[in-house]
Structure 1
């Protein structure tokens, strides 16, 4: 059942599923809770908390700019509303930066931390991609055409070659309305402005950092930089996918995540 706590004057939609240790799922740019729909059922043994960021899904739209820190405070408010004092945290893409900020803001609330296909500081290329995505959202009026264009960045080449992109785009569009242009731009601007790199040494949670070989937004070099900055972080190459391993190879993705969350000394190759 969807719940709606209020933080900073905004209603934030969330729901809780499963049994076991709590695991907070934090999606990326323009991703609502449905983003986790393939991987979430595979996270057996965990109580998963998923929520819609401000400006997406069933959460309220913001009335001005905000930062990844604001989004991390939203995540903490949702945890409070769900009665979760401490949890594992899994963040992807922009959600990975939000997870980093959460671990820095409230280290006592984070058990183990998983950062997938994310960044700590944008480089010239990733900034260019984000600016291009902003233009695509503003200028491409046909929803199916927009999703096809977006998929060329977010999905790996192997997945795109094995699946009918037109059918995927139509399925996404049929599932619900796209995020509004202004809302997308506010989230993209939060991603562009985010920078945690110089502060990552203060993260105390055991951390897994995952990059994927075909990621065309945040290449594996971003994962290496994060892992080098967080004391004791485990760096792993995830499934041979693009930017969204939880969609392209959900079981392989979950295998790596759960091995780490269960405290394994090593994670699957």
Structure 2
């Protein structure tokens, strides 16, 4: 009598994990679609505003400063100079702000067992990261095409800037997501203490333009490293020596670690507030 063929035994635990991962993926996708319809689906123009808002700010900056200065700190295009500073800042600002408000935005849905706080954060991270990358690509491509700057783009620094900006926005956003839920006044305090970032992140100047005493202070702003790295990809003769990818990475990961730790420990308290 021939032996029966060996059939692969089913593993209920592995099947359960696959089922949970599939359900979590569907939940994240549903949350992303919900935010897309909420933020852009109800306004005229929809997603067009995601491009027009930063583009309008860059054009205003370029036009305004061109009336005051003969040339920007790098190159001869004011619009390209301010775009390479404004776009990383805008991506960080939008991502950190939306991630920080993930629980409040999805709080009614978090009452259901199938939706977790991690799903809410992941959905906003993915949607706003993809949106920011797309906006950055469209705006920079349009500027290079219309201005005829003859810039040869090095994509290595550009990709590295986008990755680090997303990591920084994610880390700060997760930490603030916990702190906003635990400390009522923290939202207002954070808004006040970070207001100077727009002026201190290298949008209007380069690090080398500043006196040494100011450089020593500004170096600790991770956004200044990102704007310098972005401009390194658009200006071949610009080789900033102050940039520390290690510092930005550690700053981001430490913020992310403590944010996840606080959310894991106190997410129920935050939901019940």
Instruction: Give the structure-2-normalised TM-score.
Output: 0.27
Highest relative contact order (Cα 8 Å, sep 6+), 1 or 2?
A: 2
Higher helix share: 2
Query: Which of the two has higher C-alpha Rg?
Result: 2
Instruction: Give the structure-1-normalised TM-score.
Output: 0.27
Higher strand share: 1
